[in-house]
Amino acid sequence: MIYTSYEMIRDCRANQPAGWRYLVRQYVPVVRRVLAHYGAQTVAEPVLKALGAPQSALFGSLEPVPERPFVLALRQSVLAEFEEVAPAMDLGLDQLTAALDGFTLVEKQVVWLEGMRYSPDETGEMLRMAGSTVEKIRGRAAERVRGQVDGWSSRLVAENGRALGQAAKERRGDKCVDSKTFLDVVDGRMTWQGREQVEQHVPGCWYCIDHFCRVAEVVELLRGLQPLTEAEATPFDRLLGIPEERRGGWRKWFGG
């Protein structure tokens, strides 16, 4: 029987050891990648401990979902554990909107991912384009942004990315697109109705652009990820108070 994120979420909400074991082995590597990318001073252990409760913000209201939507929620929960309120912005969403007038959805994603601290090559991997193309788009955007602000630097978007992200989350509306639709876009299995929704609404909505970029990020986070070995997982099991898994004699002999 294949154990999936559906069973894991169900078992974690019921405080069953099987769910927590799976969470540790499969998703501690994700937590580590998120923390490393966003420059957190903390480490995975305290973050995992904060998440590791049936009624935590992560599991308290999360219904069983496929892996990638779960990792999207996990990513948000991890960042919420160490991110403080963003400082006052030197670049606001309205200024960015004016600067990027006429840019396509993909071009806006290229700029937004700069605020999420992704290099041109990393962004190119996510959006399936050359890193050199990303650099050109960001260069055009930088010149446009320069005309909208009093003080400018080449790192203005990157340095204001966290504040811009928090501002974008406050702009969610009734027409905003769900994660499944964005995953369909990434996987190339878009329906006509979903394509129309994305083309009409998303380019003008910073909430959806941020959401779309987070979905692309999650797909990349999971690429080539290796679960923890039993030896690597043991300290996390102890941290969360997960009882040692008991195996029958024949299982011990045959590795079942």
pLDDT at 249: 47
Residue 84 CB partners (closer than 8 Å, separation 6+): none
Q: In Å, what is the CA distance from 44 to each residue of 29, 34, 134, 203?
A: 9, 10, 32, 35
DSSP tag of 60: S
* Residue 100 identity: L
Cα–Cα distance, 212 to 10 (Å, whole number): 27
Nearest one of 177, 218, 178 to 199, comparing CA atoms: 177
- pTM: predicted TM-score of the whole model, two decimal places: 0.88
Decide if 115 contacts 84 (C-beta within 8 A). no
Cα–Cα distance, 27 to 57 (Å, whole number): 16
pLDDT at 135: 97
Per-residue pLDDT of the chain (256 residues; tens, 9 = 90+): 789 999 999 999 888 999 999 999 999 999 999 988 987 777 778 787 777 777 777 887 788 899 999 999 999 888 887 766 556 668 899 999 999 999 999 999 999 999 999 999 999 999 999 999 999 999 999 999 999 988 888 889 998 998 899 999 999 999 999 999 999 988 888 777 777 878 889 999 999 999 999 999 999 999 989 999 999 999 999 988 888 877 654 444 444 4
* Residues 227, 69, 189: CA angle, nearest 5 degrees: 105
**Where are the domains positioned within the chain?**
5-85+226-244, 93-222
pLDDT at 256: 43
pLDDT at 254: 42
